[in-house]
Structures are given as C-alpha cells and as structure tokens.
Structure 1
Amino acid sequence: MAGPTTAERGERQQLKSGPPRPPRLGRLRRLRVLIILSLAVVLAGGGSIWLLYGSSWLRVDHVSVSGTRVLTEAQVREAADVPLGSPLISVDTDAMAARLRRKLPRIDSVDVVRSWPHGIGLKVTERTPVLIVGIGGKFVEVDDEGVRFATVPHPPKGVPALELTVSRSAGMRRFGTGRLVREAVQVAQDIPAAVARDTRTVKVRSYDSISLELSGGRTVVWGSSEKGRAKAVTLTALMKAAPGARHFDVSVPSAPASAGS
C-alpha cells in the first residue's frame, strides 16, 4: 500500500503546528518587548543617578579619623575640608588625600574611604622621627627617608640628635647635605636596639666618617653606612667582650677595636 504523498504530509504537519503566524505580528511583539526593556533600563539608570546625586539619603554627614599619634583628629578634619552635605559619590578621595599630605607634612600616607551611606573615613599613618636637628632652640624631626617633616619645641624622647660638622670640601660638593642626612638616617636605623636606647648623637663629618655618642661618654666610630648589619652584629659582640670600654670602632667590621675603661 502506497504511503502518504508529499502534499499529504505537509497538510498533516500544518494541522499539528497550527496555522502560520503572520510575520508582522511577531515583529510587533518583539519590538514591544524591546521598548519595555529599554524603558526599564532608562528608568533604573535615572533612578540610580537621582539616588546617588539628587537624594538626601547618600550625603556626607560625618567624618571619622583614625591612626593619629601626634596630630589631633580636629587638625586632620580641618585639613581634609570634607564637603559636608555633598553627595557621597561626588567626593574626590584622591584630591583629599593629596591635600592632607600637603597641609600636614607629618602625614606619611592616608587612605580616604567612603563609608556608605553617610560617612568619610580618614586612615592616617604619621611619619616617625629617627633623628632630630636642633635649629634656633627648636627641633626638626627627620624620618626614615631623610625627610624633614616637622618642627617641634621639645625633642621627642629617645630620638638621637643629628650633628653635621661637614667642611666645604670636594666630598661635600659631591654628596650634598641631603645625601649625608640620608646616610645618617641609615646608620640610625642599623644601630642595635640595645645601643640605640643609649645613643644621644649621630655625628657626620663626611660620607665615610660617621660616629655615635652614647650615654656615659662612650663613643662608636661607625664609618660609612655601608655594611650596617655586619657593623651592628660586631658592635654588639664587642660591647659584650669589653663591657668596660668607652670607645669602639666598627668602621671595618672584620677588624673591630675597643679602648678605654
């Protein structure tokens, strides 16, 4: 028995799937969906912009400060000049951080963060003095990078003084005061902790002539800042071996010397 013809198969398929949809109706439905989705996106975007910039819900109404040691929170707030009442999203955090470092040189770094929904947080890291320079009855603090960042009326406790007695020689012209200050800073950082507590002055006569004045009239010839760790280890051992000595020389750490009693 012969099977259905091609025409019969087509009629059966048409009966199963129903009458064909007019192509214009399908395009209209897709266009309607597209328009609705576009309107939803526009409304959502406009609502977000209004929420961030136009509403009163996300505006700056307080500033928190953390990390200060010498500076006061009031000083930091004043220098930051946070625009209270402004939209939180509009605060330029990078510009604020730069302004704080410019106005308050004691600040080494600062993180300015938005604390949603209403706050600005200022996380401050202050510079730490490793040396002080006496000038006109006051004291300039020098940090671990050789930066002179603050002038104070009284020397901070436990920070040795820097004494520059450098002649106007070829070495001075070659290295300059800034370089010699950084060399002294490096020496101050390399001094063993037990010796650092007794160090009163770091004296610099030239690049390779740096010495320490300790409590009790003791002195240490350190030399240059090179091989600082080796010199620190040698000085610790030398002081243990000669506890009564008053003068120590570790300028050549492989051949140290001590003298006096």
Structure 2
Amino acid sequence: MSGPAAGAKSPQAGGPRPPQPRRPGGRPPGPPPRGGLPRLRITLPERLPLRAVLIAVTALAVLVGGGSWAVYGSSWFRAERVTVGGTVQLTPAQVERAAGVPLGGALVSVDTGKARKRLLAALPRIKDAEVARSWPHTITVKVTERTASAVLRTGSRFTEVDRDGVRFATVDRAPRGVPLVQLTPDQSAGVQHFGTKRLLQAAIAVSADLPQSVHGKATAIRVRSYDGITVELTGGRDVLWGSAEQGARKAAVLSALMTARPHATHYDVSAPTAPAASGS
C-alpha cells in the first residue's frame, strides 16, 4: 500500500507550506476574491509632469482672474438702473432717491442691505422693502406701504396711523374712508390707569376690526374710556363698541344687526351676546 513517506507532514497537519509562485515584481499572489472574480488594480502615476501642473495652475489663474475682471472691472455687469415696484402713495422717484443706490459701479458691489435700511429710515410710510440685484445691470426695489387705519388731528393737519399704532405720515387732508380718532377721556381711575397711549391703541384696534362694509362709512372713533368707545357713521348713526376686546365677534354681530335693522340709527355691540338696535 503506497502513501506518503513516513514522517512527512501535510499542509493540513501544520507542516511547511509549499513555495508559491511569485508575480513579476516579487509579490506572491493574494488569495482569490470571493465569487471567483479577479481583482483589478489601477495604478496612477505618483507624480504629474511639472509642465502639466504649471499649465493647470496657469489656466485656473486665468479663469479666476478673468471672472473677477468680468464681474468687477468690465462694463458687462455695471449697475445702470433702478426699478421700483409696490408704490401706492409714494412715487418711484421718491423711493429711488431714498434708496441712494450708486450707479455706474460694479453691480456686485452694491450693498442691498444698506439701501434697504436707508429706505426704511427715510420713508416711514414704507412698512417693508426688498432690494435685490437683477443681472446684468439692474437693482430692483419692491416696497410695501403702510395703510392708514385711523387718523389723528394735529392742528390743521392729520396724522395717519396704521393698525399697529405706528404714526407714519402727516397730510393736509384726511384720507377718504379712514375714521378720525377723537380722544375725549373722562377723569376716571380707568383712564388714569390705561393712559391716552393705550386708549389710542384701543381705538386703532377697533378701526382695524370694523367690518369692511362699515369701515368706509366710519367718520370718527370717539374714545372716552377703555370700555367706552363709540364709532360714528355717516347719516348720523353710531355704534357703541365698548372695549376693544372680542373685536372679530363684535364685527360679525354688527354686520348681522345692520342687515336686520338697516334703518336704525344706534347700534350697541358692547355686549356681543346681547346686541341691540334703536331709532329709525
């Protein structure tokens, strides 16, 4: 019976492994990958030719320099005009002057944030503004103007006040359809507690809460106390509003009441759960 020579150790028994063939370059082949697919090795050159590196750096510098010159130094992207949108009472020329956008220089150099700040500081009628670049030659300005919810008499002139209580303009004539706030406070402890500023804010809130069908007919809002606000309407009519609280509910009740009693001269929604109308 033939077999391995006595004393010979097989690789399974822990004996020396037979020599393995070497690849060109001196490295023995690694174990075959799972799945039986050969491994691919891609060898990149360790160093690029110096000439290629210089050419790449030069090309990049030309691109960066050319782009910077095109944006900052050429006439391709100059700030040449300002366009204005959103004006109602203001004119585009007023807005453009207040923005103070420098023309003739690079469009990218225009500080849009500073232009917006100049607008808001110079024109209180502007509630908000957007200033942006419109390539290649334009700065666009879009403004949102404040809307008067009430006016205050200031001597022979009128001060417009928006729904936030901001006094933003003084005009010679009161805007049509905007009620005049008349502060005629009594000397009660409530008035001393709230002060005229709080009473004015309450009047502004009432004006903002009036139904659209009624707002244009309101001629004045008389304020005697915090819960003593009366709205005067055209045709000698009036509405006892009470306090500025529950404004939306009072507005809905007033609309329904005026529909049911269109010829009444006095409406009372100070207690919206128990409204009343009188006169004819």
Q: Do these two structures clear the TM 0.5 threshold for a shared fold by scoring above it? A: yes
Name the CA distance, whole Å, in 1 between partners of 2:192 and 2:71: 58
Superposition deviation, residue 207 in structure 1? 1.9
2:163 counterpart of 1:144: yes
2:80 counterpart of 1:61: yes
Aligned positions of 1:95-114 closer than 5 A: 95-114=114-133
User: TM-score, normalising length from structure 1?
Assistant: 0.85
Q: Deviations over 1:198-217 (max 9, x none)?
A: 11101112222211001111
2:103 counterpart of 1:84: yes
DSSP 3-state at the match of 2:101: coil
Superposition deviation, residue 247 in structure 1? 1.2
| Percent identity between the two aligned chains | 49
2:145 counterpart of 1:126: yes
Structure 1 or 2, whichever has the larger Rg, is: 2
DSSP 3-state at the match of 1:68: coil
Superposition deviation, residue 173 in structure 1? 4.5
Aligned positions of 1:1-261 closer than 5 A: 6=21, 10=24, 26-29=45-48, 32-167=51-186, 170-261=189-280
Q: Deviations over 1:74-99 (max 9, x none)?
A: 11111111101111101111110110
Q: What's the RMSD between the two structures over aligned residues?
A: 2.5
Superposition deviation, residue 259 in structure 1? 2.0
Runs of 4+ in 1 over 6 A off after TM superposition: none
Name the CA distance, whole Å, in 1 between partners of 2:230 and 2:98: 40
Q: In the alignment, is the contact (CA less than 8 A) between 1:146 and 1:178 conserved in 2?
A: no
DSSP 3-state at the match of 1:181: helix
Superposition deviation, residue 167 in structure 1? 4.1
Superposition deviation, residue 172 in structure 1? 3.7
Structure 2 stretches of 5 or more lacking a match? 1-19, 28-42
DSSP 3-state at the match of 1:6: coil
Aligned length: 246
Letter in 1 for 2:174: P
Moved more, 233-242 or 197-206: 233-242
Name the CA distance, whole Å, in 1 between partners of 2:219 and 2:209: 15
Which structure has the highest helix share of the two? 1
User: TM-score, normalising length from structure 2?
Assistant: 0.80
